[in-house]
Structure 1
Amino acid sequence: MTSSKDPLLQPFQLKHLTLKNRIMSTAHEPAYSENGMPTDRYRLYHREKAKGGIALTMTAGSAVVSADSPPAFGNLHAYRDEIVPWLRKLTDDCHEYGAAVMIQLTHLGRRTGWNRGDWLPVLAPSPIREPAHRAFPKEAEEWDIERIVADYVSASERMQAAGLDGIEFEAYGHLMDGFWSPATNHREDQFGGSLENRMRFSLMVTEAVRKAMGPDFIVGIRMAADEDWEKGFSREEGIEIAKRLVASGTVDFLNIIRGHIDHDAALNNVIPIQGMPASPHLDFAGEVRAATHFPVFHAARIADVATARHAIAEGKLDMVGMTRAHIADPHIARKVMAGEEARIRPCVGATYCLDRIYEGGEALCIHNAATGREAEMPHEIEKADVRRKAVVVGAGPAGLEAARVLAERGHHVDVLEATGKAGGQINLLTRNPRRKEMVGIVDWRLAELERLGVAIHYDVYAGAEEVLAFQPDLVVVATGGIAQSPELDAGDDLVTSSWDILAGAVKPEGSVLLFDDNGGHPGMSAAEVIANSGAELELVSPERFFAPEMGGMNHVLYAKVFAERDVRVTINTRLMAVRREGNGLVAVLGSDYAGDVVRERHVAQVVVEHGTVPNADLYLELKPQSRNFGAVDYAALIGRRYPLAVKNPDAQFDLIRIGDAVSSRNIHAAIYDALRFCTLL
């Protein structure tokens, strides 16, 4: 398909604004703000998408319009005047690349906490608690409503002053649609009861903003048009709300979503992750477009170009949101235009990005370590001044990324892999059928290495002799780690590792106790496999809650399996020892909180997850022969300077190790290691 005929690359006219193609990134909050301001990190993140050819980037998710809507997750402060110059700089940067910029504005209502920001009371249409954020809101009074309408107007004026192309109001689990929903609006005054009354607040806002902004400033709304909930509003009522908003003449587009988000399980149905259906609400958004005859935008796990193209070609959407996909690859549109669609780095649905916001305070892509680090890390790799001969040992995610980056730099690269297949520990986690999409992390890099002419030598268990036979200038040890067991008082030889379960080397049988003190996906994936096998499972964790290294989005699908399979979850408990008794095992359990309390479980299997220990033999063998003795100048690495000092000038090669070959971490850390080192070498 030529660019001139590709539906995705056709311009879209939205009033006076020409969007150069049909690809957008919808509003989301990466939590890159500083003190509520979109400073350089925030700006560079959006600029990269503009550089990558996107037509529209929607900032914030959402920017709050009032001080009594305290930020729940790094939200921008649209109620402060100092936001204007920051947004103007961001907008100017994106306009330079031909991308339009809008911002999402909201009052969070009950979807936040009272013990943040200025410690003002959380409010909602009715005093009904949202489980996810746990605040008990006060019922909004008429004076609250009046001031919040005025806050929406003044926030909109700031956005117009910053030069943005438009704004979008959030009505999706926040204050506006809180008034619409019978689940959250039990009022008996002019703002409750009939649909007309329940829409009164939102129309007060849109009418006041339209009056202040004039006809030439674009105003849209992201709205749930079906709460998919017996307590909430139905599809029919949601479409009626959309029709009334259109008829009011106060909005210029609808950004449609379906569902409710008051707890993690409901949120997952709105924003699905791997193992769930892709683009589940696309057809529904198309139905709203057909019913309203109005511009419709939509995003919900539309991760691939083929689906996005279908959405436009079939008239389901006017603009298609590929939001998480742009976190994985901000240059999607550019690659489509260049005929390099196959080179788009895939979103694998891991949703590390969203979970990381709550767990680590920033959105990060599981396998694009440059996203969110645009000031230091490049999305496009520059050539090195001096070409080197490099050997990378290990073809897991760290090794594959190191080889890719080094080859992009122009170095000659050989990869040595001990097994017959690339992927490392990813090959284990994809044995859980629900997580098979993670293989995209490997497949994309293998395709890139083939394009770059990098040779991968399989079934080579490399020692120093095998590595040095290539006469390298640089050796990257990415040999990963091997499963380790927690320290036990007795019975180390009686336990099974989570790796054995995932690999299928050991089949779950009878009653199984899984002790997980790593707290991430490896233990949870093993638990899911055990539970789905039909074995009786007890999951034991020494933590206050299970899997603390994993966020709420990924928690949901594990918790669903555990609930369906009647998995027993025991927290604040530690595996102390294992002994054999007859044909079974006895797991001895203790507690950090009551050292003299010991309990026993009679089980058929004890499975443990305790991270990995570095597979460091090769590194230790090469270290005394290397130019830098394996040493790294961390200050130089962080400061983006060459990080390897010459300590052994007669040696022929530099040596680094990355990923789990250093210590037990995760996929993102392994890929970040590779990128941050190899862009300097």
Structure 2
Amino acid sequence: MEYSNLFSEGKIGGLVVKNKIVLPAMGINMSDKGFVSEAIMNHYTERAKGGAGLLIVEVSCVDAPQGLNSSNMLVIDDDKYIDGMSQLADSIHENGAKCLLQISHTGRGSRRKITGKQPVGPSAVAMPYTFMMGLSNEEPRELTAEEIRAIEDKYANAALRAKKAGFDGIQMHSIGYYLGEQFLSSKANVRTDEYGGSKEKRIQFHLNVVQKIRALCGDDFVVTVKLTVLELGEDAGITFEEGTYYAYRLQEAGIDALEVMVGAWKQEATLEDVADTGSPKGQMFDVSAGIKAGIKAITGKEVTIPIISGGRAGYAQVAEEALAKEKCEFVFMGKSLLAEPNLPNLILEKKEALIRPCIGCNTCIDQQLQHDKCSRCSSNAVLGNRHNRYELELATKTKKIAIIGGGIAAIEAARVATLRGHDVTIYEKDAEIGGQVKLAATPPHKENIKPMLDYFKAIIKELAIKVHYNRFMDEEAVLALNADVVICAVGPTPVKINLPGIDLPHVMEAKEALLGKNTGQNVVIIGGGVVGCETAEYLVEQGKQVTIVEATDKMAAKMVMTNRTILLDHLKLAGTIFMNKTKCIEISKSFVEVMAENRERQHILADTVLLSVGERPNPSLYDSLVGKVSEVYNIGDSQLPDCFATSIKQGHEVAVNV
């Protein structure tokens, strides 16, 4: 069988798992005040149906509200939550997967605006800012030894509730900015008692929790740990040697499996740091191989527990190779399974081209951490919408649907409408589909966006959706189609500004430069939004000198926090000049005149001037059709320029309702 390692059975303790594919715990912030909700049920049920062997249900709080991370985090600190958890475990099992519950306390990472309380931690050391999460926090109150022992008991009791609910086991959460990792870090934990002062003492909290869980739940209940084995950056507090030691001690304590991760406590990104839109495949495989080798060096024996590893590992060949080389025993496919719940089944059916790709935009994370909202996805319109309901009802009447435009909103509308039984045709003005996605895939470090374009082509072919290319459609052309439904998804139109010199030949839209039009050596970009800043990186990597002139106080304001920080730090390191709170007054043949907030004027040398002052809705075609077509809709950026997650949601929703 192809991918024989990936699709062979594996064991975690006494638990037999049908394949080596793991959905790791990823919070989606969709509980009902801590209880399992319809959205939570649908989310995990769909991934069990999709073929993953093991589902680790997301971070669940053992001590609410003190230990909450977000306002709609799952909670497992009271028996009242068992019934909902039981229904969830039953649904996962009925659909062929095994399940663990991740139990956690946020510690010093919990925010007062969510909990109403001062955070607590191993020591009174505030969580420093890290660009990886875009967060910092106030100084926590140091826990007493008695309070720590009480929290250990809360973990153990949470595990017992998981067992009563029918889960196959638990995972202790010890990564990121959560309490488990805090105890292990020499920077976060500066205690000098039984819980700190050396690596031998910093692991004690974990050893106590494992021992207490075993006492309550027995040896047949699976106990695993998700462990940071290395921290990077100026505020790092776990070396790889220490991480290996922690892994060894946990193995000796009798845990059944270990999932390994690397964390970063860096305030600024370096040129080596790359946003997930361009990050490589299989990021953790060498780390997990190093942990296995390190434990063997300590014990003189092979590792006795399975190691779970991954990191952009939702590619069958990548995962198969890691398993074959024994770099790990199970592979987590996190955001890949958020984007495509049916990923394992599609691999088995030899339909990998139909797997919706994770593009690495980090919208799923940003929605929770920065906005305390539920997760959304740029590839999967269902995540965070309609209670995560994936089932589509067949239309009671087949309609002839014309979709004008071939971007992300249009493709999703065409896919869903076709699956519901409608007769769909796409009319695209260009020679290929993709819309704004084509542009988004152009700047540096956007390699993981390109597969979305391949997916568009594959789904069109699979569903036999008719597409007419190079067809500009005006009101007359659309009315001539005699369609029952017209969906306008024609994209935005650029904001036009009145400025002396705007018509000079060296002035163009920033998007033109991204698509390959030549620029001079000295480039001024008017507008520091997402497109302006990404165009700047595209140019500085060609050795150009770039100045960005932005009227507001914030560059790339609408970009997700982690990706934004990396982009802006890259630009700073490359010598890009930022001019915030500055307006462009005039463009001449050789310079741009600008005026700062203090009304001081300055001339900036410019061989090329790029305009990136924003986009506005483009409703003209839609407006012309209202009252002339029985059903007409305007979706995506032509309705309101926004992110991919919003556009794909609109495409999905309009097709569900026609």
Change (3 A) 1:129 1:8: closer
Aligned to 2:594: 587
The aligned amino acid for 1:358 is: L
Question: Aligned equivalents of 2:589 and 2:420: distance in 1?
Answer: 61
The Cα shift of 1:327 comes to 0.8
Q: What's the offset of the Cα at 1:246?
A: 0.9
Does residue 143 of the first structure (1) align with residue 152 of the second (2)? Answer: no
**CA shift at 1:580, angstroms?**
3.9
Supply the distance in 2 between the matched residues of 1:303 and 1:281 (Cα, whole angstroms): 13
Aligned match for 1:333, one of 323, 344, 367: 344
- Of 257, 263, 269 in structure 2, the residue corresponding to residue 259 of structure 1 is 263
- Supply the AA of the counterpart residue of 2:555: F
Cα distance between partner residues in 2 of 1:116 and 1:680: 36
Deviations 1:292-327 (A, max 9, x none): 232111232213222122222332222211110011
Residue correspondence of structure 1 range 135-174 to structure 2 within 5 A: 135-173=138-176, 174=178
In structure 1, what is the equivalent of residue 300 of structure 2? Answer: none
For the 8 Å contact 2:233–2:265, the answer to whether it is kept is no
The within-5 A match list for 1:7-156 is 7-65=5-63, 67-72=65-70, 74-125=72-123, 127-131=125-129, 132-156=135-159
Matching residue within 223, 227, 231 for 2:227: 223
Give the structure-2-normalised TM-score.
0.89
Cα pair distance change 1:489/1:580, threshold 3 Å? closer
Distance 1:308 1:357, change over 3 A: same
SS at match of 1:414: strand
Aligned residues: 637
Look up the equivalent residue of 1:393 and give its one-letter code.
I
Q: 1:162 to 1:556 in 2, by over 3 A?
A: same
In structure 2, distance between residues paired with 1:675 and 1:402: 5
Residues 126 and 375 from structure 1, CA distance in 2 versus in 1: closer, same or farther, beyond 3 angstroms? closer
- Tell me, yes or no, if structure 1 residue 392 matches structure 2 residue 403: yes
* CA distance, structure 1, for counterparts of residue 449 and residue 13 of structure 2: 41
Instruction: Show structure 2 runs of 5+ residues with no match.
Output: 130-134, 297-302
Q: 8 Å contact 2:124–2:139 — kept in the other structure?
A: no
Q: Does 1:209 align with 2:218?
A: no
SS in 1 for 2:79: coil
Find the partner of 2:615 among 612, 616, 622.
Answer: 612
1:535 aligns with 2:538: no
Q: Residue deviations 1:409-455, cap 9 Å, x none?
A: 22222222112121112222222132143232222121111122223
User: 1:262 and 1:146 mapped to 2: Cα distance?
Assistant: 31
When residues 537 and 599 of structure 1 are mapped into structure 2, their CA distance, relative to the original with a 3 A threshold, is: farther
Q: Check 1:536–1:80 CA distance in 2 against 1; reply closer, same or farther (3 A cut).
A: farther
After TM superposition, give the deviation of residue 496 of structure 1 in Å. 4.2
Is the counterpart of residue 670 in structure 1 residue 642 in structure 2? no
Partner of 1:636: none
Deviations 1:638-665 (A, max 9, x none): xxxxxxxxxxxxxxxx322211222222
Pick one of 370, 390, 411 that aligns with 2:382: 370
Whether contact under 8 Å (1:512, 1:535) holds in the other structure is no
Map 1:259-658 to 2 at 5 A. 259-261=263-265, 265=269, 273-290=276-293, 291=296, 292-360=303-371, 361-373=373-385, 375=387, 377-378=389-390, 381-485=392-496, 493=503, 496-505=508-517, 507=519, 509-510=521-522, 512-516=524-528, 519=529, 521-543=530-552, 545-571=554-580, 573-575=581-583, 577-580=584-587, 583-590=590-597, 597-603=598-604, 604=606, 606-627=609-630, 654-658=631-635
Q: Secondary structure at the match of 1:370?
A: coil
In structure 2, how many angstroms separate the alpha carbons of the residues matched to 1:193 and 1:375? 47
Alignment partners' CA distance in 1, 2:633 and 2:70: 40
SS at match of 1:554: helix
The answer to whether the 8 Å contact 2:442/2:515 transfers is yes
Name the amino acid aligned to 2:66: D
- Please report how far the alpha carbon of residue 217 of structure 1 lies from its aligned counterpart in structure 2 after TM superposition: 1.2
Distance 1:222 1:492, change over 3 A: same
State how far apart, in whole Å, the 2-side matches of 1:220 and 1:229 are. Answer: 27
Distance 1:491 1:390 in 2: 44
Distance 1:244 1:151, change over 3 A: same
Q: 1:377 to 1:47 in 2, by over 3 A?
A: closer
In 2, the alpha carbon distance for the partners of 1:660 and 1:617 equals: 13
Q: Distance in 2 between matches of 1:453 and 1:42?
A: 33
Quote the offset at 1:551 in angstroms.
1.9
Aligned letter for 2:600? R
Find the counterpart in structure 2 of residue 650 from structure 1. Answer: none
> Which stretch shifts more, 282-291 or 293-302?
282-291
Instruction: Tell whether 2:233 aligns with 1:235.
Output: no
- Partner Cα separation in structure 2 for residue 504 and residue 483 of structure 1: 18
Distance 1:370 1:237, change over 3 A: same
CA contact (8 A) 1:53 1:332 kept: yes
Counterpart amino acid of residue 613 in structure 1: R
Shift of 1:167: 0.8
Letter in 2 for 1:207: Q
1:553 is displaced (CA, Å) by 2.2
Cα distance 1:232–1:673, how it changes in 2: closer, same or farther (>3 A)?
same
Q: 2:186 aligns with which of 182, 186, 195?
A: 182
TM-score (norm 1): 0.87
SS at match of 1:225: strand
Give the whole-Å Cα distance in 2 for the aligned partners of 1:376 and 1:40: 8
Q: Structure 2 counterpart of 1:169, which letter?
A: M
Change (3 A) 1:507 1:672: same
Sequence identity percentage:
26
Deviates more, 1:578-587 or 1:365-374: 578-587
**Larger RCO (CA under 8 A, 6+ residues apart):** 2
- Per the alignment, in what secondary structure is the counterpart of residue 512 of structure 1? strand
Taking the aligned partners of 2:46 and 2:281, their CA distance within structure 1 comes to 26
- Structure 1 residues 60 and 552, CA gap change in structure 2 (3 angstroms): same
Q: CA RMSD in A?
A: 2.7
Are the equivalent residues in 2 in contact too, given 1:532–1:561 (CA < 8 A)?
no
1:248 to 2:246 alignment? no
| Alpha-carbon separation, structure 2, partners of 1:545 and 1:123 | 33
Distance in 2 (CA, whole Å) between partners of 1:506 and 1:358 is: 39
Structure 2 residue matching 1:21: 3-state secondary structure? coil
- How far is 1:278 from its partner? 2.0
Quote how far apart the aligned CAs of 1:62 are: 4.9
